[in-house]
Amino acid sequence: MTQQLAQASIAQVVVPKGGIRHEIRAALVVWNREMIRFRRDLTRVISAVVQPLLFLFVLGGGLSSLVAAGTGGVDFKTFLFPGVLSMSVLFTAAFAGISMVWDREFGFLREMLVAPVSTAAILTGKCLGGASVATIQSVVVIALAGLVGVPYDPLMIAELLVLLFIMSFMITALGLVLASRVKQVQSAMPLVQMIITPLMFLSGALFPLSRLPGWLTIVTHLNPMTYAVEPVRAAVFDRLNMPAEARAILDPGIWWGSYQVPVPLQVGLVVVASLLLLLLSVKLFNRTE
Amino acid sequence: MESSLPGGGADAAVEVHGLVKTFKSVEAVRGIDLLVRTGETFGFLGPNGAGKSTTIKILCTLADATSGSAKVAGFDVATERDAVRRSIGLVFQEPTLDGYLTAEQNLQFHGELYGVDKTTARQRRKEVLDMVGLYDRKDDLVQTFSGGMRRRLEIARGLLHSPKVLFLDEPTIGLDPQTRASIWQYIGELHKREEITVFVTTHYMDEAENCDRIAIIDQGKIVALDTPANLKAGIGEDRVQIATADDKAAIAALKDKFGLEAKMVEGLVTFSVAEGAAFVPQLFERLDIAIKSVAVTRPTLDDVFLNFTGTSLRDAEQKGSFNAMAARFRGR
């Protein structure tokens, strides 16, 4: 019966001729897919949140007595908070980007790439998805702010969410660049570890960069994560009652020679890096598939 | 074989001229000319590694031709990529569904990617799911589906945006015979419902019988192109095998009474006639020797393939298997 019904009224579909609205729809549906999969996969959410919490409370708690002398009276866990926040989005976002390797393995990448839309639209959707998922996860960490002496300032939380979104957009794009080169599922995760771990250690997320040996300074200044983490730290530290000396030790800022890079410029650099990585991934996916 | 093509024109769903594709030193496709008429089911038959998948990839704008030209639904595959993509539906050999989404979500995703307007898309989703008998499973995750159900869903998805040409690349590979049959049933019913041309590749001879016309491709070239019936008629008559009480007398009687040359093959009296099934009643009537069993075999496309390529499909398969693997890796 249903078959006859269908026969009687074949909906003739007219596929529209491209255009920016079509591209946006395509990007949004790719984004939506990431959100659907995120909702279905609670294990991923939990496991992604556990690691930053270990860093904050176990590593931070263990080290706080050791380093107490050097932090100007500020709890080491408080210092660590913005770094752990960044870390929590870092891995989730990188995974969202590299998940394209699985999409390729299970064929879904092909379904996306043969559609009459641009690769840019699809990859933008993927980045928006990775950024959204990572930012939503970071809320769990933000919720713990009170436990490490950070106030629940609504404006600060809003700032943090925006900054973390931009940061994770960039990292998802980086993940996409990697995914375009990796054809084997088995090598995807080790590669993420290999790239993301140094990015994290050299970003100032876990300790002030001013303490590093000079030759590493060049590396940290080339690391885009440095410019993504520092605004997060500034947003948190601005809300703390911190002696000026302590702030100078814990948050020395980013210096190009004698020029202190202002926070808005840092955010700008991250946005530019995101777009460059996205463009690169579009180029690589267009070439390889 | 139709080697000289007419001008093409509005009647052609797929039009290919002198198509060549070279991978480094390997010539995968070595000059193909093809004309698929609007509304027909066109079969592309050949062993793995013969160039089927490469050709289909070029027609679907997934690969560039080294030389030659191709038009699908009137659009050039090289210069009008998006127009071609809007006009075609694709079902690949390899699965391309997201197992973490439900059947309906997979279709929704497709509709959005192809820019189908939301109201039509909803109606259309129901139609295509009904057509492949999956409407009641629409809210289940695709990862819970069997291989056959997934393939049906892929076909439904390929039809969602009402394509003018549906490409099916080995749609039944890896499926059990029953599911294979049901897939072909859907393909057959398609023409009743939609104005659509179906371009299907297969290396199963029995499946090619379902096509209006077939092209046999071997080592990158088309070696035959016609209706299955014509192709089979072109290579000869039916084969009749009988077991009798006295084989020697039977052979003599066949020669005397029917003028047929019979010989012993596999322990049976074997001979060829034009219409085997129609001949059998006469045989019983006039051959005065007791017949214990009769078998009539029509020439199969296997015989056709053997005739045109000098090798059976299975042998070609084995020889070509290394190349096929290489082709898969290249395709990635």
pLDDT digits (tens, 9 = 90+) for A82-134: 999 999 899 899 999 999 999 999 889 989 988 999 999 999 999 999 999 99
Residue-level pLDDT at B324: 44
Confidence band of A8 (pLDDT split at 50, 70, 90): very low
Name B113's Cβ contacts closer than 8 Å, sequence gap at least 6. Answer: A26, A29, A111, A112, A115, A117
For chain A, the domains span: 20-288
Find the CB nearest A106 among B85, B95, B116. B95
The partner residue sitting opposite B120, judged by closest CB among A7, A13, A114, is A13
Cβ separation A41–B100 shorter than 8 A: yes
**Interface pTM, i.e. ipTM:** 0.85
Structure tokens at B59: 């027609």
Closest Cβ opposite residue B92 in set A2, A110, A116 = A110
DSSP character string of A154-185: HHHHHHHHHHHHHHHHHHHHHHHHHHHH---H
Q: CB-CB: which of B62, B116, B126 is closest to A15?
A: B116
Residues B35 and B6 sit within 8 Å (Cβ to Cβ): yes
Residue B228 has pLDDT above 50, yes or no: yes
Higher pLDDT residue, A70 or A157?
A157
The single-letter DSSP state of residue A205 is S
A66 vs A27, more confident: A27
Residue-wise pLDDT tens digits, A45-96:
787 788 888 888 888 888 887 877 777 778 888 888 999 999 989 989 999 9
Other Cβ atoms closer than 10 A to B282: 12
Q: Which residues of B touch A9 (CB under 8 A)?
A: 123, 127
Tell me how many helices (H) and strands (E) chain A has.
14, 2
pLDDT band of residue B320 (cuts 50, 70, 90) is: very low
Residues sharing a CB contact under 8 Å with residue B204, sequence separation 6 or more, in sequence order: B172, B180
pLDDT tier, B311 (very low <50, low <70, confident <90, very high otherwise): low
Q: Is the pLDDT of residue B223 over 50?
A: yes
For chain A, the average pLDDT equals 87
pLDDT in tens, B187-196: 888 777 778 9
Distance of residue A179 Cα from the nearest chain B Cα, in angstroms: 13
Which single residue is written with the structure tokens 């070595």? B30
Query: Which region among A32-41, A118-127, A201-210 has the lowest average model confidence (pLDDT)?
Result: A201-210
Q: State pLDDT tens for residues B62-110.
A: 888 999 999 999 999 999 988 999 999 999 888 899 999 999 999 999 9
Please compute the mean of the pLDDT values over residues A10-24 and round it to a whole number: 73
Decide if B105 and A10 are in contact by the 8 Å CB cutoff. Answer: no
Choose the weakest-confidence range: A77-86, A173-182, B9-18, B218-227.
Answer: B9-18
pLDDT tens readout for residues A214-251:
788 888 899 999 999 999 999 999 998 888 888 887 88
Among B93, B112, B123, B192, which would you mutate to test the A interface (most chain A Cβ atoms within 10 Å of its Cβ)?
Answer: B112
Percentage of residues in chain B with pLDDT exceeding 90?
Answer: 34
Over range A253-267, report the average pLDDT: 90
pLDDT for A46 equals 80
| Subunit contact A36:B115, Cβ cutoff 8 A | no
Instruction: Count the Cβ atoms, other than its own, within 10 Å of residue A206.
Output: 19
**A contacts of B160 (beta carbons < 8 Å):** 13
Which domains are assigned to chain B? 9-232+311-331 (3.40.50.300), 237-298 (3.30.70.260)
Query: What is the Cα–Cα distance from B183 to B294, expressed in whole angstroms?
Result: 33
Structure confidence at residue B310 (pLDDT): 65
Instruction: Quickly list H helices, chain B.
Output: 52-59, 81-87, 103-113, 118-131, 147-159, 177-193, 205-208, 228-234, 247-253, 276-286, 301-309, 313-331
For an interface test with B, which of A13, A38, A44, A286 has the most B Cβ atoms less than 10 Å from its Cβ? A13
A216, two tokens = 């590493």
Q: Identify the residue among A4, A100, A114, A119 best suited for mutation to test binding to B, counting B beta carbons within 10 A and taking the highest.
A: A114
Q: Which tokens hold the place of B108?
A: 């929704």
How far is C-alpha A128 from the geometric centre of its chain's CA atoms?
10
A17 touches chain B (CB under 8 A): yes
What pLDDT is attached to residue B99? 92
Tens of pLDDT, residues A165-179:
999 999 999 999 999
Q: Does A44 touch chain B (CB under 8 A)?
A: no
Question: A287 touching B, CB under 8 A?
Answer: no
pLDDT mean over B251-263: 85
Nearest CA in chain A to B102: A36
Q: What 3-state DSSP class applies to A207?
A: coil
DSSP element (H, E) containing A42: helix A42-53
- Is the pLDDT assigned to residue B145 strictly greater than 70? yes
Task: Tell me how far CA of residue A65 lies from CA of A69, A76, A82, A206, B319, in angstroms.
Answer: 8, 8, 19, 16, 71
Residue type, A142: I
Nearest to A37 among B86, B95, B100 (CB): B100
Beginning with the edge strand found earlier in the chain, give each strand of the sheet holding B291-297 in spatial order. Answer: B263-265, B268-273, B238-244, B291-297
pLDDT at B3 over 50: no
